[in-house]
Amino acid sequence: MQQLITVNEAKELIRDNVQSLMPRKIPLVESLGLSLAEDVFSSYDIPAFPQSSMDGYAFHCDPNLPSYELIGEVAAGSNSEFVLKEGCAVRIFTGAPLPQGADTVLMQEKAVVVENKLFIKDENLIKGLNVRGIGTEISKGILALNKDTILSPSRIGFIAGIGISEVMAYPKPSVGILLTGNELQQPGNELAFGQVFDANSYSLITALKQLHINDVQIYFVKDDLGLLTSQVMHALANHDLILITGGVSVGDYDFTLKACEASGIKSIFHKVKQKPGKPLFFGKRDNKVVFGMPGNPASVLTGFYEYVYPAVSKMMRQNFSINIIHAPLETDFKKAAGLTHFLKAIYDGQKVSLLTGQESYKLGTFAKANCFAIIPEDTTMIEKGSQVEIHLFPN
């Protein structure tokens, strides 16, 4: 039988056993929040041609000329190439290519046009003004973004702007959530005697959505070893991360451990010295990661934030984590030694207040909280005003 391990030992085992997912080509439009698996280089000079940076008039700048003959216009997207003679000018628009021979753009607010004659009313006009030169954004062959860069909207736009439509990146995991129990009923239906409404699928799905993970499949499984084993095998074949709620203890109807063993999942640890969620299971088969959590809603969400969250971070080769700070406790707190307590609490920016109703079945307390106050396993008494570690929930 596996022995209880400490919270820190459990987190270290997760760090040591979870691997990054294999990188793959991802369409750029689907890459938000992903980590690049390789350096990205530009295949083009950007801009690829001398380009006007505003609406105005393009010409070859000659300070000795009193005016220029206006001979036409060039719009953005024009692919007509022609040579602009000295003394001539064209109407030009933002992003349009400069004609060959032009080197300057006069902004339209400082131009006067009389009978196709352009007169300049800009005392500060100099050669090259308002022109974007070839490669001034980036030159061909230059490093655009480094490996392990997290793709944000601006970075995605930058990559698109250099002509790239897909990137090699570490993907988001596909997640299978197995909810065990004969007692589960879906919200919106009538609650029969002996039934409870399913809250865990809703909290887990939305917690994953906060990480922009949308490839999530829910499986409802009755308390039957054969059925659960079959669903675990199916989930292993189709998902990178499997989360099982319920049936993780050692009661007569707790089949999670047996189903995982029958499915070839190696148990890394089973019980952690913590409250809530002591019977927490972590295992793996090849590169597939499996967590088994008690069915009580507060235990599930605690297990997600404290253990699944960092595992997902490593799978995606990222470094997002729960924000950890320290703050003074508003009241005294006593407990027995032996278990680390994750207490639902409210941090107001200065102090942390513990909430009543810490039982693992009470999700309403969780709904009021914005953090955990962490009370170490060997601590039995914390006095009012003492500094405690708090873990802020993601928002």
For CA atoms 126, 131, 136, 139, the dihedral sign is: negative
Q: How much is the pLDDT for 302?
A: 97
Tell me which residues of the chain have a pLDDT lower than 70.
Answer: 1-2, 253
Identify the structural domains of the chain with CATH numbers, from first to last.
7-21+172-315 (3.40.980.10), 25-43+144-170 (3.90.105.10), 51-132 (2.170.190.11), 324-389 (2.40.340.10)
Do 44 and 162 meet the contact criterion of CB atoms below 8 Å apart?
A: yes
> Among all chains, which residue has been given the structure tokens 């999530």?
216
Tens of pLDDT along 290-299? 999 999 999 9
Q: End-to-end CA distance of the chain: give it in Å, rounded.
A: 39
CA dist 392 → 18, 265, 341 (Å): 23, 32, 15
Within 13 Å and on the Cβ side, how many CA atoms surround 287?
Answer: 12
Query: What kind and span of H or E run contains 238?
Result: helix 225-238
Report, in this order, helix, strand and coil percent for the chain, each rounded to 5. 20, 30, 45
Do 388 and 346 meet the contact criterion of CB atoms below 8 Å apart?
A: no
The residues with which 106 forms a beta bridge, in sequence order, are 57
Report CA 266 to chain centroid distance, whole Å. Answer: 29
Tens of pLDDT along 276-316? 999 999 999 999 999 999 999 999 999 999 999 999 999 99
Q: How much is the pLDDT for 395?
A: 79
Q: How much is the pLDDT for 182?
A: 87
Q: How much is the pLDDT for 81?
A: 85
Predicted TM-score of the model (pTM): 0.86
Q: How much is the pLDDT for 23?
A: 98
DSSP codes, 313-379: HHHTT-----EEEEEEBSS-EE--TTSEEEEEEEE-SS-EEEPS---TT-HHHHHH-SEEEEE-TT-
